[in-house]
Structure 1
Amino acid sequence: MRNIPKMEESEPAELYTLEEPVAESTEINQQSPGERAPADTPTVNLRRWGGLAGGLILAIAMYLVLPDSLAQPGKVTAAIAVLMGIWWMTEALPIPATALVPLVAFPVFADVPIKDVGASYGNDVIFLFMGGFMLALAMQRWNLHRRIALLTLKVMGPRPGAMIGGFMIATGFLSMWVSNTATAVMMLPIGMSVLLLVAKVMPGVGHSTVTETGETVLKSKFATALMLGIAYSASIGSLGTIIGTPPNTLLVGYLNENFNITIGFGQWMLVGMPLAIVFMFLAWLVLTKVLFRPEIKEIPGGRQLINQELADLGPASKGELRVLLIFVLAAVLWIGVPIVFEKPPISDAGIAMLIALLLFVLPGGSARGVRLLDWASAVQLPWGVLLLFGGGLALSAQFSSSGLTEWIGTYATGLAGLPMWLIVGIVALVILGLTELTSNTATAATFLPVAGGIALGIGADPLLLTIPVALAATCAFMLPVATPPNAVAFGSGYVTIGEMVKGGFYLNLVAIVLVTLTSLTLAVWVFGIVY
């Protein structure tokens, strides 16, 4: 596999002892972790410093060119939005660090109390996502996610097309609840086990190639389709739930905070699930029937390999079964509570926190007193993503309170003459292009308030333009840098950039059509949108 960036491992304990080093010590052992940190490449350095300076210059320029018809707070908000957008896109600062800018900028330059800005970082949608992450961590802690994946593959059988479909279904389902990165990382070694089996029993299929790390792999259309199928379905499946991907969560928070529009967990699934199912089927068709049709009819020993993997897992433990029960309970509550109660006594975020607390309370069935989830596991939460949510929501809240959203709307009235399908399609196209190069969460955080302002300006329901922003932001398929699952597939050595661009281009075309149709049909029916 190619080297994929990973978190730094903790430093050896002996580096921090107070004893005098023995004669074998070297100068490097006396350096601090910061001094030993690997140097940035000149390209990365240039991008970061260029982004830092460019963001500041463009922010000042934005403030100066805006007319006096926009009040001071609105001009400051626009300038800060440009600054954060540039810094997010260039990663001039770590993405979560840029999300902290509103806590400094708005109190200083827009006279907004810091407690008002800080309230966005405690929005209930952040706790919904936090609870979802804790459930996912519990699934990983007890290997429930791996068993679900293997059982799905066992059902699909050893035919290449069906097996690729099985990988995509398992990956897509898991990515609705577990982060798409973690899902792709988990599914990759299972997929590579299948490819190694094919190389062993059918060495004449495909051709050998040497990866950047010097490993020799047997490349084939089947291998390419399988690796891309895992990567693409990790992104596609996450569209199905609010907690599946950060842009969905940001959308829910933005609409609730700025338009008092509440989207329930079950409501979103009525939109996201059909979209994910249709999209995944079309992606499977494109990969296995159009672009990378597998050269083999059946994988000898494929079923036995999956059975062996299941056997290695052993029987389901009490902890695993209890996490499964909690998982089912969470899904039932998220979907059922709004149906049973006209005014639900507990919100989706409250349910998420209830589930998280149950995971900490319930034992895993071990005499050792192990709980389903402990804090050592919980601290693996992507805290940076939660900060990013807070920064995005703080920025969007200031768009509304400063009058910037309405001001953008007045300049967007000229679009009212265009067909709505064309406006939605253009929004999807623009966001798709941006998310290939930038973080999907940062893209959504930057453009949700802009889309909301345009919707107000043309007299449209804000849902009509903000839903395609959230959906399109997750549809990044063409480049390894677009999203971590793509990088994971590329790092396997079985996929070239050219193959990823080829597959991603076709899927992006499909995404534009599906996002537009979903926004104008299914979403209209589920949310009662009138246009």
Structure 2
Amino acid sequence: MSCYWVGEVVPLAVTAFLPLDTNMMFVTSLMLSLAVEECHLHKRIALKMLTFVGAKPQWLMAGFMMITSFISLWISDTACAALMSPIAYALLEAIMIHKMSPLPDKSRNESEIVLQENGDMKKNEARTGLDVSRLSKRDRGICKCLMLIVAHASLIGGTGTINSTGPNLIFRDTLEKFYPGEDTGISYLSWMAFAVPPMICYMFASWMVVQLQFLGLRHIVRIFKPSTEEEKKDEDYVHKAVDTAYHELGPMTFAEKSTLVIFMLTVASWITSDPKVFKGWAMFFKKGYVTDSCSGMLAVFMLFVWPREVPDIPFLRPESDRNRPAVRREALLTWDAVKRRFPWSVILLLGAGFAISKSVKESGLSSLIACNMEYLLAGLPLPIMQVHMFMDFL
């Protein structure tokens, strides 16, 4: 099967339909991210947080690092990267086109910039494409840094919670299989307590390394120096562009509020189900009957039921308007949107990995490899860890 996987002889979808709790938890995370994307809640959160960070490139990168990592804590890291990359690219395009403007003062009216539904930042008039070859070496480095920071932050944020990336879920599932009926000590809250502090260190390290690679140490040191007049003009433009894009979204819609409430209730249920520090609500059910995927799938069910506009309830209308038939509202998440945008390949590959893992274990191949490794490496922990890290890298 591994040879078929590497050679892509046939699709592995036929091996992937395994009713595992881990798969359902991952489906839940992806469905929630789809609902967030449908109502553009991620865009509102990102732009609002960007209005608080400085307009200097260094602070802008730090802002994107924090925002993307925060969003990636709660949804799939893959989905987070897909949501945040268009916003980062649109902002970069607006900034660099402004820098290449032939106008002496590079003046722009902030109302010329609009953040469209697809995440692209456009001008109201005809759009000018970004010619990267015309950018200076420093500006090209800034573009590379910001896009890489979005990718890095999605992965780094995914380490902070148990459900935001596949390996975390697989790790918990593997422990539960090897130690059935025993308390592994892993819960949503305990994982966060263990993983969030190093996650913050990873964020800072990535922010530093990416800038050192493409911009050099001098660029980082300049964060503490006052900006020149030219830099102040560019920073004012960035601030106005972000602020205008945020205000173009208008007031928070009913769909955004509903999605946010469902999302917060879902996260709260995951945290309080079995927090270890006190007895959670899972104690009211037989052990093993209720898992995190249960509350997650309940949230997904609510997304398909709850309307994206205020419900049209007859007895809540004025008396003069109660006789007309009720208008059916579209749900927060529709099956058409799921069929169109859900990354089925991610779930299928995850299931294929489970299928191969089970076949390796049942055939005894895993025990054979472990015994040979112990013999060859003489049971030394460091070489064994190095071999595992190399295999994970591949």
Same fold per TM (> 0.5)? yes
Secondary structure class of the residue paired with 1:240: coil
| Alpha-carbon distance in structure 2 between the residues aligned to 1:418 and 1:300 | 60
1:192 aligns with 2:128: no
Identity %: 30
1:347 aligns with 2:291: yes
Per the TM alignment, residue 147 of structure 1 is displaced from its structure 2 partner at its CA by: 1.1
Q: Which amino acid is 1:216 matched to? A: D
Structure 2 vs 1, CA of residues 326 and 98 (structure 1 numbering), >3 Å: closer, same or farther?
A: same
Q: 2:253 aligns with which of 312, 317, 320?
A: 317
Q: What TM-score, normalized by structure 1, do the two folds share?
A: 0.55
Q: Which amino acid is 2:26 matched to? A: F
What RMSD in Å do the two structures reach over aligned CA positions?
2.8
1:397 aligns with 2:358: yes
Secondary structure class of the residue paired with 2:163: coil
Q: Which amino acid is 1:406 matched to? A: S
1:216 aligns with 2:216: no
Give the match for residue 337 of structure 2: 377
User: Which of structures 1 and 2 has the larger relative contact order (alpha carbons within 8 angstroms, sep 6+)?
Assistant: 2
Task: Give the conservation status (yes or no) of the 8 Å contact 1:239–1:248.
Answer: yes
Give the match for residue 466 of structure 1: none
1:249 aligns with 2:249: no
CA deviations 1:426-481 (Å, max 9, x no partner) are: 4223322x1xxxxxxxxxxxxxxxxxxxxxxxxxxxxxxxxxxxxxxxxxxxxxxx
Q: 2:308 aligns with which of 364, 371, 374?
A: 364
**Superposition pairs of residues 128-207 of structure 1, within 5 angstroms:** 128-203=25-100
Structure 2 vs 1, CA of residues 390 and 416 (structure 1 numbering), >3 Å: closer, same or farther?
A: same
Give the match for residue 267 of structure 2: 331
Q: Which amino acid is 2:253 matched to? A: S
Q: Which has the higher mean CA deviation after the structures are superposed, 167-176 or 250-259?
A: 250-259
Give the match for residue 427 of structure 1: 388
Per the TM alignment, residue 312 of structure 1 is displaced from its structure 2 partner at its CA by: 1.6
Give the match for residue 110 of structure 2: none
Give the match for residue 268 of structure 1: 191
Task: Give the conservation status (yes or no) of the 8 Å contact 1:338–1:344.
Answer: no
Secondary structure class of the residue paired with 2:93: helix
| Alpha-carbon distance in structure 2 between the residues aligned to 1:233 and 1:100 | 33
Per the TM alignment, residue 330 of structure 1 is displaced from its structure 2 partner at its CA by: 1.2
Per the TM alignment, residue 418 of structure 1 is displaced from its structure 2 partner at its CA by: 5.1
| Alpha-carbon distance in structure 2 between the residues aligned to 1:290 and 1:391 | 37
Structure 2 vs 1, CA of residues 172 and 92 (structure 1 numbering), >3 Å: closer, same or farther?
A: farther
Per the TM alignment, residue 415 of structure 1 is displaced from its structure 2 partner at its CA by: 6.0
Give the match for residue 121 of structure 2: none
Per the TM alignment, residue 256 of structure 1 is displaced from its structure 2 partner at its CA by: 2.8
| Alpha-carbon distance in structure 2 between the residues aligned to 1:369 and 1:344 | 36
Aligned length: 321
Per the TM alignment, residue 264 of structure 1 is displaced from its structure 2 partner at its CA by: 2.7
| Alpha-carbon distance in structure 1 between the residues aligned to 2:8 and 2:59 | 40
Give the match for residue 100 of structure 1: 14
Task: Give the conservation status (yes or no) of the 8 Å contact 1:258–1:397.
Answer: no
Give the match for residue 445 of structure 1: none
Task: Give the conservation status (yes or no) of the 8 Å contact 2:377–2:384.
Answer: no
Structure 2 vs 1, CA of residues 89 and 315 (structure 1 numbering), >3 Å: closer, same or farther?
A: farther
Q: 2:5 aligns with which of 74, 88, 102?
A: 88
CA deviations 1:470-493 (Å, max 9, x no partner) are: xxxxxxxxxxxxxxxxxxxxxxxx
Structure 2 vs 1, CA of residues 344 and 244 (structure 1 numbering), >3 Å: closer, same or farther?
A: farther
Per the TM alignment, residue 310 of structure 1 is displaced from its structure 2 partner at its CA by: 0.7
Secondary structure class of the residue paired with 2:74: coil
Per the TM alignment, residue 250 of structure 1 is displaced from its structure 2 partner at its CA by: 2.7
Q: Which amino acid is 2:5 matched to? A: W
CA deviations 1:27-66 (Å, max 9, x no partner) are: xxxxxxxxxxxxxxxxxxxxxxxxxxxxxxxxxxxxxxxx
| Alpha-carbon distance in structure 1 between the residues aligned to 2:55 and 2:130 | 26
Q: Which amino acid is 1:398 matched to? A: S
| Alpha-carbon distance in structure 1 between the residues aligned to 2:382 and 2:49 | 37
CA deviations 1:365-414 (Å, max 9, x no partner) are: 33551222222223332222222222222222233333333333322323
| Alpha-carbon distance in structure 2 between the residues aligned to 1:328 and 1:101 | 34
Q: What residue ranges of structure 2 are gaps of 5+ in the alignment?
A: 102-128, 313-327
| Alpha-carbon distance in structure 1 between the residues aligned to 2:63 and 2:25 | 29
| Alpha-carbon distance in structure 2 between the residues aligned to 1:409 and 1:90 | 26
Task: Give the conservation status (yes or no) of the 8 Å contact 1:258–1:400.
Answer: no
